[in-house]
Structure 1
Amino acid sequence: MNPETPTPGAIPPGPLVTPTPGATLRARFMFALAFVHLLLVAGLVHRATSKSVTQWELDVMYVGLVALWPVFALEAAWGAVRRDRSKPRRPVVLRALLVVLMPAWRMALIDPRTGLIWVPRIGWQHPGKELFRRLELSFGGPMLLFAFLILPILLMEYLRADQVKELPTLSLALDIGIAAVWVAFAVEFVFKVSAHPKPFAFAQERWLDVAIVVLPMLEFVLTKWVDAAPLARLLRAGRALSPEQIARMQRLYRLQGLATKAWHSFLLLEGISRLLGNTPEKQLARLDAQIADLEEQLQEARADADEARRRIAEKGGQRQPNPPTPFPKKEGGEEPNTEDPALSSV
């Protein structure tokens, strides 16, 4: 390959703002912090609710999350202030707020000054179709492995449930395996959403990936809600509960169990869909569907344009015609002959 030929998604030559060495160093550092934050969230979601968790583990997770959050908030605000003023402000502010709410998004944040994304191993890249395709190829094989990694985890969780409860080390290994699967899907989703030209459309299309990332957090919230509920405290104190209170607690526990089972099912479904969805026939079917959608949108746009032209024509037809321009008089005061020669010869 010619060394001067730019790779797909690389920074093209030109008068664009290129990242400085300081910006690259900061991007690497913030990526590492965001990944550490994601690991702490994974530990909180998949380990903090375990009966074998120790107080030392909980202290590390909670202190780490609280200590890292101001760093992301200040860095996001600083990036929004030093953004490229020639570009719209709203997308930059929305991305900064997203980082403040979920610091893991800092891993693939679009630089507000250059409009580029720093990706490990390949450096600064332009977000768009080319980068998205490269990410699809890069994540394809590893994510298929992570999706089917849930099978031995489920076998261990359901067939060796008594051993998992008795052996803290086995419970820890199981929690680490589940957390690793969740982290892999979260990293893939963050990078693909950031690189896709239409992130909201991508999230709607990949609803299964969204469910795999969101359901464990929902399960964690439900678990903490049940543990912190006054009904649970009353139950632990041995006080009598009314039938309505008992039914309410049963619904919460049932919803928590459904979230867990749904997450396991979605992981298996994701693995099967990825395994069967990478064939040329499946890719051709998806491309044909996209072409059909684009053609339908094009027809609707043409119909709207024709309707707009018709309204403009009708509006122009309702105007009063301009008065005829008088012919200039000939020399000597004679009126010009306005009669059509063809009519006069009849």
Structure 2
Amino acid sequence: MTSYRDEGWISSKSQGGARENGEDNQKDISGRDGAVATADHSNYNAPQVKVSESMQYGDLMDNTRVRESEYEDGVGNIGLPHLDPSLMDFDINSLQIIKNADLEELRELGSGTFGTVYHGKWRGSDVAIKRKEELLHCSCILLVYALKCPPIEVPLSKMKTIEFWREAEILSKLHHPNVVAFYGVVQDGPGGTLATVTEYMVDGSLRQVLLRKDRHLDRRKRLIIAMDAAFGMEYLHSKNIVHFDLKCDNLLVNLKDPSRPICKVGDFGLSKIKRNTLVSGVRGTLPWMAPELLNGSSNKVSEKVDVFSFGIVLWEILTGEEPYANMHYGAIIGGIVNNTLRPTIPSYCDAEWRRLMEQCWAPNPAIRPSFTEIASRLRVMSASAQTRKAS
């Protein structure tokens, strides 16, 4: 569940003007002699571009090499097109099927291109209901599988369906205190629509919490939230799952206990299950995407793309802001691809936080720490903050 608001993908055909948004705010991000340039920003209002391997984005795809899949082509028995081999061997019968009549919708939490999320009740428990809505106007997205090959038009509704079943399959296999719990899928929604039913997190996304002025999060609480997210990601990677879209929008929180916030990883619509050691494809949301996803430097990418994203998440948690909020998308892509762009680190950032953040977003994936190491370091930092607070 992404911030209980489904942001969706931006398609050059369905939202042609989106790429021009923010043109006047474009900043020069080219660094000299390999120096890393930084960008100032102060708000959370700029739109985000979500990129998947189904998205054509100017010269971005010209730099993307052919990525042969590490997966088989089978998509189980759910009738999906052979577009996403990460759904190999998927059996719908392995999922809990929930009748729409058994759900009670209480209020809408958010909506977007890919559906609407509701706070609801199921069997007396609070749940989040994410309904996949059919597009009334739409359109096609452009699939680009090989360098400069002709794009293939695929109805966006089919890609929505693929993303829906991918998230359902992945969530159904996960059981961890720092991963959003999955209850089941609904197949008989209004108009035959599909829905997922998951755990309800009372305070919504971490991004929403960071925006709220009435919620003060001291350093210890921010460290606990970061640590919880790292534990959730450590678990995902132990299950050979790469999230691909890690950001504060996709981290859900519960602040009911004033002394101990809880954070859980959610929104697995862009995730993939690895075979062997590497995964294929270009996907994610631009400011959080690792350079190796964009620059065509490797046919395959590792789970370290999530570590890069987590470095940006640490910056979000520290500052409460969105990275590169006032920059043009093209400038962001260029800066990431050339490794000349990282968020500006504020002067109040302590040395430990800064060191971990910079190691996570290191250009070389081999240098980035694992989530096991990240969680361990955050645990030590959190304990130290608690000790200082007590004294």
Give the TM-score of the pair, scaled to structure 2: 0.23
Higher strand share: 2
Larger radius of gyration, structure 1 or 2? 1
Higher helix share: 1
Q: Which has the higher relative contact order, 1 or 2, with Cα contacts under 8 A spaced 6 or more apart?
A: 2
